Amino acid sequence: MSRPYAKLPRWIDYGLIPLVNLVVAFLVAGLVVLLVGESPLQAAVLMLRGAFGYAEGFGFTLYYATNFIFTGLAVAVAFHGGLFNIGGEGQAYVGGLGVAVVALGLGAILPWWLNLPLAIALSFAFGALWAFIPAYLQARRGSHIVITTIMFNFIAAAFMVYLLVGVLKPAGSMAPETRTFDAGGQLPKLKGLFDLFGFNLGGAPLNVSIFVALLAAFLVWLLIWRTKLGYEIRTLGFSPRAARYAGMSETRLIVVTMMISGGLAGMMALNAIMGDQYRLAIDFPQGAGFVGIAVALMGRGHPAGIVPAAVLFGMLYQGGAELAFDMPAISRDMIVIIQGLVILFAGALENMFRPGIGAAYQRVRFRTEEPAGESVGEAR
């Protein structure tokens, strides 16, 4: 992405500007709360209390955050390659099929710790497969990846409904979902672990897949910044022409990047299906694929930013659910607005405050013409 504005020190670029964008997004969200006749401050307090105030709420927050780490990483990997993957929702949905295949087929035979790696592999594979066609079409036929991934979200939804209503539904059942998985298809909750430290997670569905998510975050960092493939992906993102002149295969890179992205989105199903619901049901991703866009933009594409951003959105999801009890006017759909505002201010309008902040910084720097101020400018 071209950046027509002057370069600024890293702490402004990666710290101050995202923070300002986030604050503005929340201020606008606060206006919406005012508009429906509630106090934004009180809403924020209630939300924070619901998300962090007690152990069970915190467990839910981290459970949601796990989903968003996966989808956020998925969007971020594609972003590094200059690709915008809006299809995380569909890829996660189809990834659920991979998890269900393992859990339904081997749930009664193998223990969970053997099924987990299989489910990881299969959910990754199914998600990657769902991203393969848009990627291939982008690379070879020049069709726009944004449009094709949106279309594939709808196709995935129709496809999964077809499977759930027809093939996967147990005989005699009316609900469009699979049967409940056997014990080997259920990931253990972290209740016992937290009990050791004296926290009672209660019914929170936090489970071992959060460790998978954190591992995935580390591996994405490793991939993007420490491997040859990651270097190639970033080159493709900065300048496809440079990648071409350097002899990198654009087709291969686009397809591989998108498949990694789709695979990460698919792994989100581990948490939702194997970790919580123990069955594959209609529309289980519940928008997590889209939240990934906001998470990736807020985290600036870096796992170290994505994990906290995912926790923030986990907080919004959990706190928002709690908030709805005390303020019936504010349902969980408030999160969708906040999500949109974060995408707007941290993504599309990221240049809005940059010139102002840049000018202010330059003015401060010139006025305090000291070695300390100078060294900050020189540091990059």
Q: Which is nearer to other proteins, 221 or 353 (CB)?
A: 353
Q: How far is the CB of 219 from other proteins (least distance, A)?
A: 26
Q: Which two tokens stand for residue 29?
A: 């969200």
The residues that touch other proteins, with contacts defined as CB under 8 A, are 1-2, 4, 32, 35-37, 84, 86, 133-134, 137, 141-144, 146-148, 150-152, 154-155, 158-159, 161-162, 165-166, 290, 293, 297, 329-331, 333-341, 343-344, 347-352
DSSP alpha helix (H) spans, 81-196:
88-106, 112-136, 145-165, 191-196
- Specify the residue, 45 or 161, whose C-beta has the smaller distance to other proteins: 161
| DSSP for 205-264, written as a single string | --BTHHHHHHHHHHHHHHHHHHSHHHHHHHHHHH-HHHHHHTT--HHHHHHHHHHHHHHH
Nearer to other proteins, 104 or 344 (CB): 344
Contact 43, 327 (CB under 8 A): yes
Shortest Å distance, C-beta 158 to other proteins: 4
Within 10 Å of residue 252's Cβ, how many Cβ atoms? 12
Instruction: In angstroms, give the least distance from the CB of 86 to other proteins.
Output: 7
Residue 153 C-beta: closest distance to other proteins, Å: 9
Q: Which is nearer to other proteins, 6 or 193 (CB)?
A: 6
Crossing angle between the packed helical segments 288-298 and 88-106, to the nearest 10 degrees:
120
DSSP code, position 83: -
- Name the residue nearer to other proteins (CB basis): 271 or 339: 339
Residue 281 has φ and ψ, to the nearest 5°, of -125, 165
Residue 331: CB minimum distance to other proteins, A: 6
